[in-house]
Structure 1
Amino acid sequence: MSARVLVIDDVPANLRLLEAKLSAEYFEVLTATSGPDALAICERGEPDIVLLDVMMPGMNGFEVCRRLKSTPATAHIPVVIVTALDQPRDRLQGLDAGADDFLTKPLDDAALFARVRSLARLKAMTDELRNRAVASRRLGIADPLVAAAAETGLNGRVLLVEDRPAIADRLENALSAFHLVSVETDARQAVQRACEEDYDSVLISLDLEGQDGLRLCSQIRSLDRTRDMSVLLMGEVENRARILRGLEIGAHDFLLRPIDRNELLARVRTQIRRKRFTDRLRDSLQSSMEMAVLDQLTGLHNRRFMDTRLAEMFDESALRARALSLLVLDVDHFKAVNDSWGHDAGDEVLKEFAERVRACTRGIDLVARMGGEEVVVVLPDTGPKAAYAVAERIRERVEGSPFPIYGATREIPVTVSIGVASRRAGDASCADVMKRADDALYRAKAGGRNQVIVASAA
């Protein structure tokens, strides 16, 4: 896939060379010759990936990477350090700064392009989540990017798939200082464990005896239960072609043997941090979706969702000539509860009321808070007699035992009045059913409350 790649280098010849290579592979290339210029471009959200030289005047590449990864607005942008530095301590310093990879010049073009495409896919997967999570701030949810950028990548759950005991022991000992590690020698058992347990990262040896590590990588990346786990491949230098194939399949990173302990820890930490970043965005999106359709006090659906869903349920009922009934519930004398016991006690009553109503309904029923103490229950495939039975069951459950308030230190009696109406053949819309249910509720309250009234079927 294509992507916008920002190349940062203070040497014009290096810039032109990388720009030409990337352009030939149909990447869109941006360039910068200094750290501050690069940070400004990234803050504007222009690049998908950053290729970063280390040796630059003023602000070196390590510092640029550190600033990008510690800033919520740019922490999601993949960074690959591309440098002539080739010592293990340089590689470790780059990974510790948050880089997603560290490539040493002269570059292997195939490895570079495979890495850029792999990171571009990963970023594309998180961009939509990130945009929606940012939008959730308008709903009052705490900024998810701040929490995600602060993730350390430590205390993860790691599955190590390696069938050579000595190597497995050495890797497990290194990782166990910072993570909870499980070792598996069989690829089929590894898939099963990955599906059953909640791992952050899976490390797969490409040298499994009689087993295909790439096949295992493909299975983990394709299954719904495991596709969000980070996958790191481990192989010999001569396995490079298979490793690059693994990146195409969906592996997130790789390690070449002999594996340096510090590089192992740094790469695993980076991948766990990236996974948790997307997990937080996904959780934030889920929270924003729930806030959009749920009443925050009771956990029932809100008025906005009910209006849309009720119209759909009415149309489906009419199309299929199936029954549809609607209950409108109102807590009796609720204002007196607030006046006598306080609004906190009133909130406790509404929460308990919602639980008792929910306990009397089915999963296919729609239960929504209309506002205040009024709740609507929509019952698909339910005629007037069955709807009355449901309403009476709710009324009895509400009246049957006192409601706890003040943290369950006191109890008060509560009752409910309910109006019931069912769809008629001549109804033009769900508003007709709602009007009859409201009228029935009014009669129930006018007639003494704590009762169920069914609207006339005529």
Structure 2
Amino acid sequence: MSGNILIVDSVSTNRIVLKVKLSAAFYTVSQAGSLDEALDLADTRRPDLVLAAALPDASFPEVLSRLRAVPGMDMVPVVALLDQNDPATRAQRLREGAADVIGKPLSEAVLLARLRSLLRHAPRADDLGLQPAVARALGFAETPAAFAAPGRIAVMGGDAAGTQRAFLSRLARQGRHQVTTASVSRAHGLATLPQTPHVVLLVIGEAEDDPGLDLLAELRSAPATRQARIIAMIDRADAPRAAHLLDIGAHDVIGADTSADEIELRLAAQLRQQQAQAALRNQLQTGLEAAMTDPLTGLYNRRYALSQLNRMIEALPVRGGGFAVIAADLDHFKSVNDSYGHAAGDLVLTRVAGLLQSALRPGDVLARMGGEEFLILLPDCSRAAARHMAAQICRVVRETPLSLPGASAPLHVTISLGVTLAETRPGAPVPSLDGLLGQADRALYGSKSDGRDTVTFAHRPAA
């Protein structure tokens, strides 16, 4: 797995040893012996991950905060390097915000597996194909919160004992998180979990056929839990099994002798990561919705409507039947803006959009094409059904008074419609998008010429 890693350590021997190990694993490695050098390399090399020790000229928290202040570095994992694997210092580094802590001695296999896991699971805006500046402008690269919001935690596997009991008791006393427990035998199929967990602490025994291994695969593949973060608890965190678990999907691995304090900190870190990933997905969903939604009316926009029309055309030879395309335009809308102002005109457009939506069937497509123009697509619709629907739309708009702020009386508006049908006919070509839109537009012009507030059908189905 390739990646760009920055090593920050004032001891050159430490840097060289790490570089040899990482270069042999095909990572691109940069080295910094001071904070200024680290900041310069972070800005120019844009590493995917940082391995950082405390420096003579800067504590680890200062190294971390200064690195995160570099543009594009706010979501890059920073792993703390320790000369000694002291439990208190490990917990302190996690409390200060390290993505992980690596102390000596640690097997090379586990080291590389931890780095692979961090690189694979870190929430990254550039995975969405966004440039850093664009991602920041759209809110895809916000600095993670210092503390995880309350979440749902599931402890699964063997019966709770020792450190687990202390950990669960501590969480229960705090009351911040919703904690559930389940054994593997009772949790098969995840059926006993009352809600989808955000983080799973999965206890795996020493046996080669421990059922926790199968449960890890199930957790990573099941739709309900594939977004959950998984911490595997095994006998020793530096054992060969740790590397295997990290490579098959665990987000973190801890030893059974890990202190309750460190477990809680690691769990909080995974919960933050899960929440950051969820935020990225939500922001992406919001962006996708914005890309196909008209911001004023909340209807679909032109881009979405044309893509849907293309799909309906492509499906026509397969599904048969037919569909209707309706071009709609509010009558005399310029006079509304001139008489009441553009704010009132926007309000009229919004309310008419609601009226149109209420008149349509589930599955029909309504879009604002621009200005006071709308496009309506009616799947599986005959000529008689399209005629009935169009007449109903005209009637609903005509008969619904619209109250405007500051107006002495309700406003009445009307709408004109042009309708064309796309139908499968023996020997006839499949209609084109431009042909259908042109037919509907010409029919709409006919309605405008005939006095408005009316419906005109194209002379024949579009081809």
State if a TM-score over 0.5 links the two structures.
yes
Does residue 168 of structure 2 align to residue 172 of structure 1? yes
The residue that corresponds to 1:202 in the other structure is 200
CA distance in 1, matches of 2:441, 2:193: 50
Partner of 1:92: 91
For normalisation by structure 2, the TM-score amounts to: 0.85
Q: Structure 1 residue 384 and structure 2 residue 383: aligned?
A: yes
Counterparts of 1:200 and 1:70, CA distance in 2:
28
Structure 1 residue runs of 5 or longer lacking an equivalent are: none
Partner residue in 2 for 1:183: 180
Fraction of identical pairs, as percent: 33
Q: Structure 1 residue aligned with 2:455, among 446, 452, 456?
A: 452
Alpha-carbon distance in structure 2 between the residues aligned to 1:153 and 1:164: 24
Amino acid at match of 1:219: E
Question: What's 1:155 paired with?
Answer: 150
Unaligned runs of 5+ in 2: none
How many residues align? The count is 453
* 283 and 7 in structure 1: CA distance in 2 versus 1, 3 angstrom threshold: same
Cα pair distance change 1:92/1:213, threshold 3 Å: same
Match of 1:353 in 2: 352
Matched position secondary structure for 2:346: helix
Once the 2 structures are TM-superposed, how far is the Cα of residue 318 of structure 1 from its aligned partner?
A: 6.3
Q: Classify 1:110/1:82 alpha carbon distance in 2 versus 1 (closer, same or farther; 3 Å).
A: same
In 1, Cα distance between equivalents of 2:39 and 2:433: 55
Give distance in 2, aligned partners of 1:371 and 1:91. Answer: 59
Q: Residue by residue, what CA displacement relative to the aligned partner does 1:326-375 show, whole Å, maximum 9, x if unpaired?
A: 10112233334334444333323322322332334355443221111110
Instruction: Compute the RMSD of aligned alpha carbons.
Output: 3.3
Give the drift of 1:420. 0.7
CA distance in 1, matches of 2:89, 2:123: 29
- Candidates 138, 141, 144, aligned match of 1:145: 141
Kindly state the Cα deviation for residue 175 of structure 1 after the two structures are TM-superposed. Answer: 2.6
The 3 A distance-change label for structure 1 pair 404 and 281 is farther
1:311 positional shift: 4.1
Measured after TM superposition, the shift of residue 62 of structure 1 is 3.6
Task: Give how far 1:304 is off.
Answer: 3.0
The alignment status of 1:220 with 2:215, answered yes or no, reads no
Contact 1:66 1:98 in 2 (8 A): no
TM-superposition CA deviations, 1:264-322 (whole Å, max 9, x none): 22212211211222222222222222222211111222223334443454354368765
**Structure 1 residues 428 and 182, CA, compared in 2 at 3 Å: closer, same or farther?**
closer
Change in Cα spacing, 1:69 to 1:260, as seen in structure 2 (3 Å) is farther
* Map 1:306-345 → 2, pairs under 5 A: 306-317=305-316, 322-345=321-344
Superposed counterparts of 1:124-139, under 5 Å: 127-129=126-128, 131=130, 135=134
Assess, with a 3 A threshold, how the Cα gap between structure 1 residues 323 and 412 changes in structure 2: closer, same or farther: same
| Paired residue type of 2:99 | D
User: What is the distance in 2 between the residues matched to 1:324 and 1:413?
Assistant: 30
Say if 1:206 and 1:145 are closer, same or farther in 2 by CA, change over 3 A. same
**Bigger shift: residues 94-103 or 199-208:** 199-208
1:230·1:275 contact (CA, 8 Å) conserved in 2?
yes
- CA shift digits 1:45-89 (9 cap, x unpaired): 5322222222x2212334212333466621221222222133333
Shift of 1:2: 2.7
Three-state SS of the structure 2 residue aligned to 1:274 is helix
Residue pair 2:75, 2:141 contacting (<8 A) in 1 also: no
- Residues 133 and 14 of structure 1, relative CA distance in 2, 3 Å threshold: closer
Quote the Cα distance in structure 2 between the aligned partners of 1:404 and 1:248: 63
Change (3 A) 1:15 1:259: closer
Deviates more, 1:196-205 or 1:217-226: 196-205
Q: For each residue in 1:205-224, what CA deviation from the matched residue of structure 2 results, as whole angstroms up to 9, or x when unmatched?
A: 22499962222222111123
Contact preservation (8 Å) 1:367, 1:377: yes
Corresponding residue SS for 1:185: strand
CA distances 1:202-256 after superposition (whole Å, capped 9, x unpaired): 1112249996222222211112332121111223228833333221111111222
| CA distance in structure 2 between the partners assigned to 1:372 and 1:137 by the alignment | 31
User: Quick one: which amino acid aligns to residue 15 of structure 2?
Assistant: L
Query: Are the equivalent residues in 1 in contact too, given 2:78–2:98 (CA < 8 A)?
Result: yes
Task: Classify the secondary structure of the residue corresponding to 1:351.
Answer: helix
2:254 corresponds in structure 1 to 255
**1:432 aligned to 418, 435, 443, which one?**
435
Q: Which moved more, 1:224-233 or 1:204-213?
A: 204-213
Tell me: CA distance 1:69–1:96, structure 2 relative to 1, closer, same or farther (3 Å): farther
Given that 1:328 and 1:418 are in contact with CA atoms closer than 8 Å, whether structure 2 keeps it comes out as yes
Shift of 1:382: 3.0
* Structure 1 SS opposite 2:239: helix
In the alignment, residue 401 of structure 1 is paired with which amino acid? T
TM-score normalised according to structure 1 size: 0.86
